[in-house]
């Protein structure tokens, strides 16, 4: 292979949710044009050929949109580059001979399934508690009868680009899910379609977030700094505003 680089990996291994985990060291030959996950593919093929247990990790679209990949790389969710997911991180971001430490998301609300895979179904339950507009199929009016100023649509879209990966929770010292919840609440509270349930939605989602065991927000901003989709911290301010308004109105 032309242009190879040697990487020392320290990877978290944990057989299942209840097992004790530990770090395991591996050496991999990578190419700078490989993605970080392709480097793991190479390692796993090696492990299988050597009769060892391959490393379990979540991944699917490998183009930064499905939100499935989830590795803490050298202490940072999705690695050293801003605005990208693990699958979009390339080995050219590392140097020959680097030691790279890889761990799963760590949060009580995201229990480890195996190695680097975690269970993020808590996010689904938060959406199920209120992250929607209650409109059954067939009830819609003509799309252009709802006029939405471009700036409003753009801001709602920006919040809606959250991929639900959980990097925000992983980055937060309190394992708070405020950025995730704030993004959905902001999207729907800005749009005319979201007004009918505006107050009940935010209260239900925050209640569910607390019930799942996510921590409180102390405004350190680590979530927004690590978010691969660069969801701004302002969605948390907005979430707080929406929540207090709803509470003041007796929701």
- Tell me whether residue 52 or residue 95 sits nearer to other proteins (CB atom): 52
Minimal distance, residue 159 CB to other proteins, in Å: 8
What the block records as the tokens of 67 is 């939100």
CB of 106 to other proteins, least distance (A): 17
Q: Which is nearer to other proteins, 54 or 221 (CB)?
A: 54
Q: How far is the CB of 220 from other proteins (least distance, A)?
A: 26
Shortest distance, position 226 Cβ to other proteins, whole Å: 17
Residue carrying the six token digits 């004790």: 20
Rounded CA separation 163/60 (Å): 13
Q: What is the closest distance, in whole angstroms, from the C-beta atom of residue 84 to other proteins in the complex?
A: 6
- Whichever of 31 and 174 has its CB closer to other proteins, that residue is 31
- The residue whose two tokens read 């649509």 is 153
181 vs 217, beta carbon nearer other proteins: 181
Instruction: For other proteins, give the closer residue by CB, 31 or 220.
Output: 31
Of 176 and 187, CB closest to other proteins: 187
* Min separation Cβ 236 and other proteins, Å: 20
């Amino acid at each position: 292979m032309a242009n190879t680089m040697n990487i020392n990996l320290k990877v978290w291994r944990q057989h299942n949710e209840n097992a004790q985990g530990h770090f395991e060291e591996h050496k991999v030959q990578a190419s700078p044009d490989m993605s970080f996950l392709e480097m793991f593919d190479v390692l796993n093929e090696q492990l299988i050929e050597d009769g060892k247990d391959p490393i379990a990790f979540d991944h699917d679209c490998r183009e930064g949109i499905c939100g499935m990949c989830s590795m803490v790389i050298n202490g940072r969710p999705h690695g050293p580059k801003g605005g990208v997911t693990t699958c979009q991180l390339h080995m050219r971001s590392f140097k020959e001979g680097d030691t790279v430490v890889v761990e799963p998301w760590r949060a009580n609300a995201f229990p480890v399934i195996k190695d680097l895979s975690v269970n993020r179904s808590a996010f689904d339950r938060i959406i199920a508690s209120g992250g929607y507009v209650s409109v059954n199929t067939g009830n819609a009016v003509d799309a252009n009868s709802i006029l939405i100023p471009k700036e409003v649509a753009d801001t709602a879209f920006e919040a809606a680009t959250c991929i639900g990966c959980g990097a925000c929770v992983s980055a937060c010292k309190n394992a708070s899910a405020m950025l995730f919840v704030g993004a959905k609440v902001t999207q729907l509270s800005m749009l005319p379609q979201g007004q009918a349930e505006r107050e009940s939605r935010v209260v239900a989602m925050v209640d569910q977030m607390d019930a799942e065991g996510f921590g409180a927000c102390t405004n350190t901003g680590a979530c927004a700094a690590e978010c691969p989709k660069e969801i701004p911290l302002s969605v948390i301010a907005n979430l707080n505003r929406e929540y207090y308004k709803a509470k003041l109105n007796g929701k």
